[in-house]
Structure 1
Amino acid sequence: MATIEDVAKLAGSSRTTVSRVINDQPYVTKDKKEKIMDAMRQLGYVPNSSARRLRSQRTETIAVLLPRITNPFFGHLIEAIEEEASKYGYQVIVCQTHDKKQKELDYLQLLKTKQVDGVVMASFTNDWMEIKPFLDSGPIVLCNEYMDTDQVSMVHIDHRQAAYDATIHLIEQGCQHIAFTSGGQETHISRQRKSGFHQALSEHNLPFYSDSKWTEALDVKDGQKVLEHLKSVHPYIDGIFTGSDEVAAGIVYAAAQGNWRIPEDLAVVGFDNQMLSLLMVPSITTIEQPVEDMARKTIEVLVEKMQSKQPQRHTRFVYPYELLKRNSTDRSSVTQSVH
């Protein structure tokens, strides 16, 4: 196996000069640099990246905190983030918090102990004042998740407006008794969505229904349970904004098994435009987020913060979304019925 001494000998340079080229340091002429690079290629010499990282006090690693990788939205986001980070020479580690506050703080310790250079938070459950001190140890960028502060950079859509638009769409389809589901742990996003939902109902003088069974829906099985609960306890509900394509798919599937017609008896809206939403029968109306664009911007902002030696101002990037209207809410060609 070739060594740095072998490279120096073949290139006719000193070991120190070879080291400077490997670590991209100044004071090496272009001619010498080319000879050293050519010698490295001839010998098949590969620099020790671990040692190089130690000398630069950088890990070239980014941590991404998210609730659960099994959610297709976060799987899509991670794939896009990893692809973009690799362009800058960074590796990505995935940290599943399962919406546990202590687990979230434990992962943030990776930044404090210099095991990662930066952190992307795709969700968070702790109060901001618990997270803020970690900024002293390295940069954090919020992607998908956001809050009302100028103390951290954020990349997201307007979840409040998205929920408002989805609810207005249900109302325009004739729904008068509309339910809202969220994914258990209350986050800033869930509060924003609920606020948009409430605004739409208020503007049309429609009632708001509350049930703890609707606040614990995360996946397809939970969606099935939601429909069973609606049938037995709230049979008058004729529209539902789920905030998740998985939950929406569970509702659609359970409805087909239980002789509930969608959208005639119950109009359903999901969120995230997962492939599942298009494959279900009927196809599910949903909100689409520009995941790749958000991932690119997130890594661009984070890398700039990690590589700059100057204090960086915090920025907020709000991306557009799209309400994709499909068969799970289209009552224009069906005969409506009353429960």
Structure 2
Amino acid sequence: MTTINDIAKMANVSRTTVSRALNNNGYVSEDVRKRIMKIVEETGYMPSVSAQSLRTKRSGVIGIILPKISTETSSRVVKGINEVVSKEGFQILLTDTELNPKKEVEYIRLLQSRQVDGIILLATNVNKELLNVINDVKVPFISLGQELPNVTSVVYDDYHAACDMTNLFIQRGHEKIAFIGVGEEDPAVGHTRKQAYLDTLQKNGLTVKDEWIHEGGDFSIESGYESMKQILKKSQGNLPTATFAVTDRMAVGAMEYLKEQGYNIPGDMAISGIGAAVMSAYITPSLTTIDYNNKEAGRITARLMLDKLNNKNVSEKSTLSYRLISRDSV
């Protein structure tokens, strides 16, 4: 196995010079650096992670806690994060809570015990236990998607995005607008998007009917399907003409139920979602949605994490932009 001493001998430089070149720390002439890196590449030399950790007091790992690793949102966010941190020599360690709030707490403790350099949390349910364990975290910590007290938070502009979507329906002549959401224990998706819908209807003098609002169990297609089924069942004689679902997957489920029942979209019912899922552009009719640019959200979060690791001052809250994509479903 090639060692750092071997690299030094081959390059005819000191061990310290090799170390500086590998860690990009301290002066090394460009010619010498190129010579060292060529030898490293040819020999397949890998620096000792444990030795680096002892020297830098860093593990070189950033932990990411995802609500569901299989979703497009998670995939895009992770790509954005990894794109930024890998260039600075960091690796990422992914955990998947499967939408289980107890696992959020469990993984925060686990990642700390693994001595990661920082933790990025994509929280769903926010509760007292979660806030308490975050308060005890000793490494840089960032929340993405939820605004948490005393925590650096990168958030989507859920309120104004949901207002814009509700207003789009109103501009198209709809007055009976239904809402498919999730539980309000999810502050961003469950509470803020619903409150924006309610506020927009009220500002426009439109009626809100309890039977037009249904909160599904999760963010799935199946949940959207069942929610639309319940809305139509409870609204016989006074059906809504439009439905705003808080995620694209739920919107797709709602559309599927409407199609099965013989409804025309958007003739009988206009539909929209949030998330700009790939399938939203290809289903029939194509789905009106909100694009949050999750990959860029990951990049922004990663840059903030690197700043925190380098002891730079960062904003406690960063709000991301969005884009409304109007398609055939409205």
User: What's the TM-score once normalised by structure 1's chain length?
Assistant: 0.84
Distance across 1 between alignment mates of 2:187 and 2:318: 17
Distance of aligned partners of 1:292 and 1:178 in 2 relative to their CA distance in 1, 3 Å threshold: same
> How many Å separate the matches in 2 of 1:44 and 1:96?
33
After TM superposition, the structure 1 = structure 2 runs for residues 251-330 of structure 1, keeping only pairs within 5 Å, are 251-306=254-309, 308=310, 310=311, 312-329=313-330
Instruction: Identify the range of structure 1 (30-39 vs 263-272) with the bigger mean alpha-carbon deviation.
Output: 30-39
Question: How many angstroms does 1:261 deviate by?
Answer: 1.6
In the alignment of these two chains, the number of paired residues is: 324
- Residue 102 (structure 1) shift: 2.0
User: Shift in Å at residue 38 of structure 1?
Assistant: 6.0
Deviation at 1:258, TM superposition (A): 1.3
Superposed, which structure 2 residues align to 1:79-90 within 5 Å? 79-90=79-90
Cα displacement string for residues 31-64 of structure 1 (whole angstroms, at most 9, x for unaligned residues): 8767655654565533223432343222211222
Distance 2:133 2:124 in 1: 9
Match runs of 1:179-190 below 5 Å? 179-184=178-183, 186-189=185-188, 190=190
Structure 1 residue 145: Cα displacement: 2.3
Question: 1:79 and 1:43 mapped to 2: Cα distance?
Answer: 30
The ranges of structure 1 where at least 4 consecutive aligned residues each deviate by more than 6 angstroms after the TM superposition are: 27-35
CA contact (8 A) 1:110 1:116 kept: no
Stretches of structure 2 that go unaligned for 5 or more consecutive residues are none
**Structure 1 unpaired stretches of 5+:** 330-339
- Paired residues of 2:158 and 2:192 also in contact (CA < 8 A): yes
> Residue 198 of structure 2 corresponds to which residue in structure 1?
198
Work out which of the residue numbers 234, 238, 241 in structure 1 matches 2:241.
Answer: 238
Q: Distance in 1 between matches of 2:146 and 2:96?
A: 15
Q: Whole-Å Cα distance in 2 between the matches of residues 325 and 44 of structure 1? A: 51
Alignment deviations for residues 84-134 of structure 1 (CA, whole Å, 9 cap, x no partner): 322222222222223323211111114432531111122242336324424
1:299 Cα offset (Å): 0.6
Query: What is the CA-CA distance between 1:318 and the residue it aligns to?
Result: 1.8
1:4 Cα deviation from its structure 2 partner: 2.9
Cα–Cα, structure 1 residues 68 and 46, in superposed 2: closer, same or farther, change >3 Å?
closer
Q: Is the 8 A contact 1:111 1:134 kept in 2?
A: no
One-letter amino acid of the counterpart of residue 232, structure 1: K
Alpha-carbon separation, structure 1, partners of 2:258 and 2:285: 11
Distance 1:33 1:264 in 2: 66
2:135: which partner in 1? 133
Output one character per residue of 1:178-234: Cα deviation in whole Å (capped at 9) or x when no partner: 222223462220211111111011112323234685232421122222222223222
Q: Secondary structure at the match of 2:209?
A: coil
> Do the aligned partners of residues 94 and 272 (structure 1) sit closer, same or farther apart at CA in structure 2, a change above 3 Å counting?
same
Structure 1 residues 170 and 56 mapped into 2: Cα distance closer, same or farther (>3 Å)? same
Q: Distance in 1 between matches of 2:78 and 2:202?
A: 37
Indicate conservation of the 8 Å contact 1:108/1:134, yes or no.
no
> What is the percent sequence identity of the aligned residues?
28
- Equivalent residues of 2:147, 2:317 under 8 A apart: no
| Cα distance in 1 between the residues matched to 2:31 and 2:288 | 61
In structure 1, how many angstroms separate the alpha carbons of the residues matched to 2:30 and 2:266? 69
1:250 — aligned with what?
A: 253
Name 1:158's counterpart in structure 2. Answer: 157
Give the Cα–Cα distance (whole angstroms) in 2 for the partners of residues 43 and 284 of structure 1. Answer: 52
Confirm whether residue 106 of structure 1 aligns to residue 106 of structure 2. yes
Q: How has the CA–CA distance of structure 1 residues 57 and 205 changed in structure 2, closer, same or farther, with 3 Å as cutoff?
A: same
In structure 2, the residue matched to 1:169 is 168
**Are the equivalent residues in 1 in contact too, given 2:241–2:270 (CA < 8 A)?**
yes
- Cα distance in 2, alignment partners of residues 119 and 139 from structure 1: 6
Matches of 1:204 and 1:296, distance apart in 2: 37
Matched residues in 2 for 1:76 and 1:322: separation?
16
Instruction: Say what the alpha-carbon RMSD is for the aligned residues.
Output: 2.8
Change (3 A) 1:86 1:210: farther
For 1:155, what is the secondary structure of its paired residue? strand
- Cα distance, 1:248 vs structure 2: 0.7
Q: 1:60 matched to which residue of 2? A: 60
The 3-state SS of whatever aligns with 2:181 is coil
The residue identity in structure 2 corresponding to 1:221 is E
User: Quick one: distance in 1 between partners of 2:209 and 2:22?
Assistant: 64
Do the aligned partners of residues 100 and 11 (structure 1) sit closer, same or farther apart at CA in structure 2, a change above 3 Å counting? same
CA contact (8 A) 2:126 2:187 kept: no
Is 1:220–1:246's contact at 8 Å kept on the other side of the alignment? yes
1:181 maps to a residue whose letter is: I
How far, CA to CA, are the matches of 1:131 and 1:179 in structure 2?
37
* Aligned equivalents of 1:118, 1:140: Cα separation in 2: 6
| Equivalence for 1:332 | none
CA distance in 2, matches of 1:282, 1:35: 58
